Amino acid sequence: MVGPVVGPVVGPVMGPGPGRAPGHGSAEPLWRAIAVFRFAGLGYAALLAILNRVYYVRFGWAWAVIAAMTAWTVVTTVAYAHPERRTRALLGADLAVTAGLLLSTFVLQYPQAMRHGVMPVTGIWVAGPVLAWAVSYGRRAGTITALIMSGCDFVLRHGDLAVVLNGVVLLLLAGWTIGHVARLAAAVETERQHAAAVEAASRERERLARGIHDSVLQVLALVQRRGA
């Protein structure tokens, strides 16, 4: 009588599994937000190029850079939509491509444009890899990436710290804050999975105890009938 009770226990206990790494699902909204930000930043960069066209010595080439930004935005959006593709190689390529497009402003704008506070051809779009690294690897990675992009902007503006300081602070805040939020979300997801596993194990123990109790009662009743 006991055998049929023990058999089904393995399925419910072993069946549930996380399926994904801790914090994996919690980062998905952040990746979608990064995609939205990059497309919004792309539109803003195009608008700035139109408004600041008098500062461009090669205005036609500026649109070629914006076209490259558009293509790279599509590539990264599609790639980052798949967790298995969010590798260090892709994140490094994202950083390198973005830095290269930012530095292309050297040959697109007049030298005095930077001193007048005109934004580079990329605009705020350059924050994309900073956010991606922060979501993937936390505050430290976001901060380091922000410093790299800020260094490129510093070189682009001929070492004028007063002009570049605002962008540096914003990039650092974005990298640190998003990295912190990503790690908090991962910790919450891990705790949620642990609580769900503990609850499932508790329910299974209760089910097992009820099954054994019922089986023991059945055996005792059978022994009583045979004894009578």
Note the pLDDT tens digit of each residue in 165-180.
878 898 999 999 998 8
**pLDDT at site 33:** 93
- Is the Cβ–Cβ distance between 30 and 17 less than 8 Å? no
CA distances from 176 to 39, 116, 138 (A): 22, 29, 8
Distance of alpha carbon 56 from its chain centroid, rounded? Answer: 35
**pLDDT at site 15:** 38
Dihedral sign (CA 166, 172, 175, 177): negative
**pLDDT at site 7:** 40
* Alpha-carbon dihedral angle through residues 53, 59, 63, 66, given to the nearest 10 degrees: -60
Provide the mean pLDDT of the chain: 81
Q: Which residues pair with 56 in a beta bridge?
A: 109
- Determine the Cα–Cα distance for residues 152 and 192; give it in Å rounded to an integer: 41
- The helices-and-strands tally (H runs, E runs) of the chain is 10, 0
pTM value surpassing 0.85: no
pLDDT digits (tens, 9 = 90+) for 44-65: 999 999 999 999 999 999 999 9
- Determine the Cα–Cα distance for residues 187 and 23; give it in Å rounded to an integer: 7
- Is the Cβ–Cβ distance between 130 and 172 less than 8 Å? no
Distance of alpha carbon 33 from its chain centroid, rounded? Answer: 9
- Determine the Cα–Cα distance for residues 41 and 64; give it in Å rounded to an integer: 16
Among 39, 38, 69, 66, CA closest to 53 = 66
Residue stretches of the chain with pLDDT short of 70: 1-25, 159-163, 189, 191, 193-194, 213-214, 217, 228
- Residue keyed to tokens 């996380």: 18
- Is the Cβ–Cβ distance between 108 and 66 less than 8 Å? no
- Residue keyed to tokens 């919690």: 26
pLDDT digits (tens, 9 = 90+) for 11-37: 333 333 333 333 456 788 899 999 999
- Determine the Cα–Cα distance for residues 156 and 182; give it in Å rounded to an integer: 31
**pLDDT at site 74:** 97
